[in-house]
Amino acid sequence: MNYRHAYHAGNFADVLKHTVLLALVEAMQAKPAPFCYIDTHAGSGDYPLEGFEAKKTGEHKDGIARLHPAEKVPPLLQRWRASILKGEGNEQGLKHYPGSPLQVTRLLRPGDSAQLCELHAEEATKLRELFRGNPQVHVHQRDGYEALKALLPPKEKRGLVLIDPPYEAQEAEYRLIEQALKSALLRWPTGVYAVWYPIKLRSQVQPFLRKLQHSGVKRILRAELLVHPDDSPLRLNGSGMVILNAPWNLDDTLREPLRVLASLLSQDRPAEWKLDWLLDEAGSQLNTPSPLPASRLPRPPGRR
């Protein structure tokens, strides 16, 4: 594997992913019962923004660096920004960008736990060192897809799985995700599964989303942010999060933050955001998984 997230940490795709991730963790913690967080592709967990990799690409400048000084952002973004800034920066800006494992583990309550999987030896070593001495966190140097077979269902019976692979071979990665989800849902049909995906060509994403619609899951929410038109395979034009067994009212929680992020993260043209249900609570298809203007976002019928 050649991918290293240090080159991309804190970019616009991370901002979307981690905003959604915070909303999911808060939804899990709305109930007092403990939950388990499982990360299939955890990376090293913490990324220096003044290091060689981040300086080479500068991607965080069009991501977290824009949110850091922004005023009058929605409460979810305020809480996320405050969490990011814990020990990571000063009034001049961020020094480090915490990855998904570090962001989530900072929020764990007594009784909650985290299972972090990373196959790459160097990244796994850094991850293990980062959480050394933390009894709530368990690091596994192994393939995350295979690990799900051993980790599910978690002893807590409630939990969240983040699947955030590098997509070095995009079509092959989608097949691996489909297989992993099929197996995971058999073991743990009530778990919440969040999958991050890149958007280069829209045609590359559509088959994957259509297959999810036939997964048997009755509540699937899609959130996307596009900073470039989705018609070029040569760059990352946007990204999305698709959540299976999405918590109640997650769409309401994310709607205003996504609108604000689209405004803050626009680049050479106005950014676009999308938030829609692929399946409603009755298992009925609400829409085909295709681009939708923000002004026409569908809502599940019969919502309270």
* Domains of the chain, first to last: 5-279 (3.40.50.150)
Residue 273 has what pLDDT?
97
Strand ranges (E), the chain: 36-39, 46-48, 89-90, 93-94, 96-98, 113-117, 137-140, 159-163, 192-199, 220-226, 238-244, 272-279
Cα–Cα nearest to 10, from 57, 52, 42, 75: 57
Active-site residue among 14, 46, 164, 276?
164
Q: Are 55 and 8 in contact (CB under 8 A)?
A: no
Band the pLDDT of 59: cuts 50, 70, 90: very high
Which H or E run includes 172?
helix 170-187
Average pLDDT over residues 118-136: 97
Band the pLDDT of 90: cuts 50, 70, 90: very low
Average pLDDT over residues 99-121: 98
Residue 86 has what pLDDT?
74
pLDDT at residue 297 is higher than 50: no
Residue 69 has what pLDDT?
85
Between CA 7 and CA 49 the distance in angstroms is 9
Residue 167 has what pLDDT?
94
pLDDT at residue 91 is higher than 50: no
Between CA 9 and CA 96 the distance in angstroms is 9
Average pLDDT over residues 214-218: 91
pLDDT at residue 92 is higher than 80: no
Band the pLDDT of 280: cuts 50, 70, 90: low
Q: 179-215 pLDDT, tens per residue?
A: 999 999 999 999 999 999 999 989 999 999 999 999 9
Residue 11 has what pLDDT?
95
Band the pLDDT of 293: cuts 50, 70, 90: very low
216: left (phi over 0), alpha (psi -120 to 50) or beta: left
Q: Are 144 and 41 in contact (CB under 8 A)?
A: yes
Structure tokens at 183: 């197996």
164 is annotated as an active-site residue: yes
Band the pLDDT of 40: cuts 50, 70, 90: very high
Average pLDDT over residues 216-245: 93
Residue 298 has what pLDDT?
38
Residues forming a β-bridge with 27: none
Average pLDDT over residues 162-181: 96
pLDDT at residue 224 is higher than 80: yes
Average pLDDT over residues 153-173: 96
